[in-house]
Every structure is written in structure tokens, then in C-alpha cells.
A and B are shown apart, each in its own frame.
Chain A
Amino acid sequence: MKRAVTAFVATVVGLFWVLTFKVTPHQAAGVAAASPPPSASGGQPVSASPTPTSSTAPASTPSPTPVKKGADGTFTGTDVPTIYGDVQVRIVVSGGRLSDVKALQLPSDRARSAEISQYAGPALRSEAIQAQSANVDIVSGATYTSEAYAESLNGALQQAHLG
């Protein structure tokens, strides 16, 4: 559970629940969730508003694009129709790690859809943070970093060959 996921593809079906890409060591095959779990296994419960109905699974579930473990690149999930509109996500794997997940399509054409997508959309977004030496005026953050913690975490990441 401590390891970053190395490859991951997800297809959103039904009610935009899905995936947590956080630390769940999914196997390379995509997740086609015709009956999405109420909260993804072991990861962030990116829950949205209550689901209005349970009869929203589409007639067919296209297979998502598989991602081989360690394969770098950009991978686009299957466009999945729902009663609220289409849902499609794209991920970027770099260095064997999931570096970005983006919702290419979320329903927005109806008020209800907008409400849902506005809420569920951001929950689909997560990424490994980058360490930047950006030009800034001031920095926001807790001030007194525990160096021991930082070293420990760095060490663990390196052991996992993810640092």
C-alpha cells in the first residue's frame, strides 16, 4: 500500500465513481466497473453526492486500453456513455508512475449532470507532486518540517525505486 501505483487505467461507468489511483496496486489491466464500488479499495474515498439510481449501467462495457506495467506514455480510457453523458479519462504514466489523471469528458449538459460532474470531476484528479524551484513571492506551508520524517520518506521511496 505504500507504493505508488506503476500503471493504471480506469474506465468510468455509471455514476463516476471509480477509481482511486492513489496507492492501490491495481494490476495492469483496466478496471471496468459496471457496478462501481461505493468506495474504491484502499484509496481515497472520492465520493460524490448520493447516487440517484442504480440502473444506469450502459448496455455494453467497452474494454479499456490496457497499460503494461512500467510503460510510459499517455493512455486514454474508453469513452463511456452514462445517462448523464459521456465520461472519459486520460492518464499519463511517466517513469513507471502515474503522473496525471484527467477527465477528458464529463457530463455537463443538464443541471443535474453539471452538479454531479462539478462534484465528481475534481475527485478524479490527483497526481504525484513535483518538486519545483519556481520563482515565488512567498511560500505557504507548515514551517517546521520534520527532517527526520523527510529523510525517512525519501529513504523509503528510494528503496521502492520510486524516489
Chain B
Amino acid sequence: MDTQFLVSVGLILITFGLYIGIAFYNLARKTSDFYVAGRNVPAIFNGMAIGADWMSAASFIGLAGTVMLLGYDGLAYIMGWTGGYLLLTFLLAPQLRKSGRYTVPEFIGDRYKSSTARLIAAVATIIISFTYSIGQLSGSGVVIGRLLEVDTAIGTMIGVALIAFYSAVGGMKGITWTQVAQYIVLITAYLVPVIFMSLQLTSNPIPWLSYGQIVSELQVLDVQLGISEYVVPFTEATRWQFLALMFTLMAGTAGLPHVIVRFYTVPTMKAARWSGAWALLFIGLLYLSAPAYAAFSRFILMTQVAGSSIADLPAWTTSWVNTGQLSVADQNGDGILQWAELVISRDIVVMATPEIANLGIFVVGLMAAGAMAAALSTAGGLMIAISASISQDIYYRSINPKATDRQRLLVGRWSIIIATVAAGIVALDPPGAITQIVAWAFALASGTFFPALILGVWWKRANGPGVIAGMLVGLTVTLIYIFAAQYGGFTLFGIIDTGAGVFGAASAIITIIVVSLATKPPSKETQEEVMDLRYPEEMVYRDGEVWLKESPEDTKVHK
């Protein structure tokens, strides 16, 4: 047990004590509290909670490494994962808030007047959130395993126990305030190393202004080595794959149930718009820093590690070589490590960088605590989405409509525990890389929820048969494309598995429109409800006329 181990574990324990303390303090009692935190979270804090929910192990641990290894082509992730908030905040969030439903499947079921549609949506929520959480749990397994110097599988099990415990006792209210704390921990952990590296390399403490200079120097180094240049577009993927991946990530963002549910926790439509704006500001802080991380790490590796004697490599290389994520074989036997002989996995770039840049044990420990916050906060939000789908949409609405609050809460808690353990079991031997699993979840969301929600809010003619057919077609097309591209080598326009959402969304939208037009229009009542979403919440649409709410009680309700 060295000092580094003690510092890292100490920081993780302190931050976790903080999260669990907050969860206990807010111990949920009523159903409405459990799922949507009583709808009284201020926009700025809701923005932070959305940020913590959003920034998963893939963003925190994987993103900078992806940008470092893919160069310009990796920026599809940066623009895709931020641009989705435009679609979400402009086209969906305020309207869904006005509809006043608890969950996405509930909205779909009520909007399309179809319990079949609600069940399909509930099952899709479970599939998407489950897929996504496998990535989070295996990410936490890597961090815990590396820290405790135990097998990754044991690390994953510890992660499972933690997340099941505090999701089940705290509910959403616990998680909202817990996630505010997690956001602060993870953004601090992300920014401190990148600011230090900026100071070391450029003497400028503002990485966003200074890394352009490093990128120019990288271009010179690339030309000297004769490798593909860092900023040149479409060297790792085609133009169409870049565009398809960016679309998949944007549309998936607007359709992810665990993100959308956050917009139910705000008191008004106005607060929904402000929450979206604050959320993207807080998220943007990390996404603007990831390419700086990538450039600094690549520069340090190229100038300080590559070219040094193989017998004289820094100590950090040994521990990462042991995990199998880093390879430093001296292939040409000249005793010197060449850049081409250094093979680094994209998932360890962020975790290894504080060690590479020699930033000291406190920063290394902080990174571990931040990575754990990213993985577990997202897993928490996902578990709530799964639990709400099972207890509200399947159990209460379809199996036992007479269930008491207590029974529903109990079903919700047990679903969290069972889902976490099941995801943990799959995560012991994950089916793909973390970022890849996460991209599949986005593709599935853009093939199912994105079309169903957009057309549900903006096209009153969309009906039940249309959305049932559309979600099933979108789900099938997306799944088949992912499998065909991943295992069968099938591609269209050079678009690979991670860009599958573009085909899923297109086929689902076409199906919903064609089937809706071929079948009976929705009832007048349903069409009026959709019309009602056009107007601010003080206005009510009824029988072709618009009414303004004026009672003082109503004003109080919105406070």
C-alpha cells in the first residue's frame, strides 16, 4: 500500500460519503418526490444535475482519448453530444414539461391513446438504459479495479453495491442534490489537470486559449514523422460516417429517457428552457476541455515519452502496461521507444494523463474520484429511468392499477436493485468497448423515442397505430444495422455501427407518417391536447378557443 493508493481511496471515500450523506438527508417518502423531486429544483442546480447525469464514464474517461486517437474525426462526439441539447430544449423539453407526465412512456401512452405504445416505450426505455448502464458499470470497474489493485470484476461488483444502495434509498430527490455535488467534483477533477498541463507546456493557465499553439506544433511533428496529420479531416472515418455519427448522438440525446425525465423536475416551461441552457453551459465546460486534454497528452507522449530509452521509461508505464491497455514494445530493437511503437488505449488517456504529466498524487486521486462520480451518477439516473418504467408504466398502468403508493415504491426499489445487479453481471464481461456500447444506446434512442416524441409534440395527426409501427420499425432497423455493421461488415456510404441511428430515425419517421395517414386520425380530444402544447402553460386550448388561467391558486401552483 503506497501513498498514492491511500490518497486516491481517501478522496473517493470522502466524496462518496458526501453523496450518500446527501441521499440520506433527502430520504424520499412520497412517490411524486421519489421520481421527480417534487418539481421544485431551481434551474441552475437542475442544470448541474443534468450535467452530472449526462457526463458518463464515456465522456469523462473516454472522450479525450477518442479525440486524441481520431484527431479531427473524434470531434463528431464533441458536437454531437452538445448539439443534442438544441433539439431537446427547443423542440421537446418545454412541451413535455407542460404535458405534466411523469415518464416518457407515460407521455407516449397518453399522447397516442395506446397502452401498446406505452408498453413498447417502457420496454425500449429499459433496453436503452440497461445498455447504457453496462458501460457505466464496467467503467467504474476499471477505475476501482486499478485503484484497489484487484480484478476489474471485483471493482465492478463494488460499483454495483454502491449504486444499487443509494439509488434505492434516495430516489430522485436524493439523486438531484447528490448529482449537483457530483458535478462539482467531476468538473474540478477534469479541469485541474488540464490547467496544470497548460501551465507546464505553454505558461498560459487558460487551456482553451493556449492549446491552439500545441496543435500547430503537433502538425509539425506529424509531418516530420510522416503520419496522418492531427487536424486533417476524414482520415479515420468517411465524411458520411462523421455526419451520421453526429446526427445519431444529437437525436439520441433528445430521446434519452433518463435525460428527458430531468425536465419534469422543473416547476415551469420557462424553467425547462433555463435548465437546458445552464445544463449545456456546465456540460460545455468539459467538452471544450476534452480536445485540449487530447492535444496536451499527445504532445507530452510524442516529445517526452517517445524517443526515450526503452530501459529508462517513467514508472507510470509499468502499471498501465500490466493492465494490457498500453504497449511499449521495442519492435526494431534499437533500445529507443519510437512513437509508432507506443500503443495506448483510448480509455486510459484521461486516467493516465496526470501520471504522464507528473502532476502529483493528489491530482491522480482527484481524477479517480471524478471518474467514479461520472460513472455512478449516470448509472443512478439510468436506474431511476428503469425503475420508473417498471413500477409506473408496466406494474401500475398495466398489471395492478389499484397499487398503493407504497407498493409502487417497493416495486421501484426492487427494480433498481435487480437491474443494477443484472447490468453488473453483463459488465463483468462487457460485449464491447465502453464508448461503443454507449453509442449503441444513443442509436437505439434516436431510432425509437426521438421520432415518437418529435412527431407526438409537433404533428397532431400522428396516431397510435403510426407510433407503434414506427417505434418497432425504428428499433428493428437500428438493431439490425448495428449487428450487420459490427459483425457482418455491412456498411452504406461508409457508415459503421455507431452511425446506425440515422437509418433508425429515418425509417421510424417515414413509418409513423405513412401509417398515421393511412389510418384514422386521432380523436378531437387528443388533437386538442397537442394544440395545447403550442401555448405557454398559462394558456389552455379548448374547442378552438384559447383561455387564460387567472386564479391566484394557479399562480401559486407554478411558484
Co-assembled chains A and B = no
Residues of B within 8 A of A (CB): none
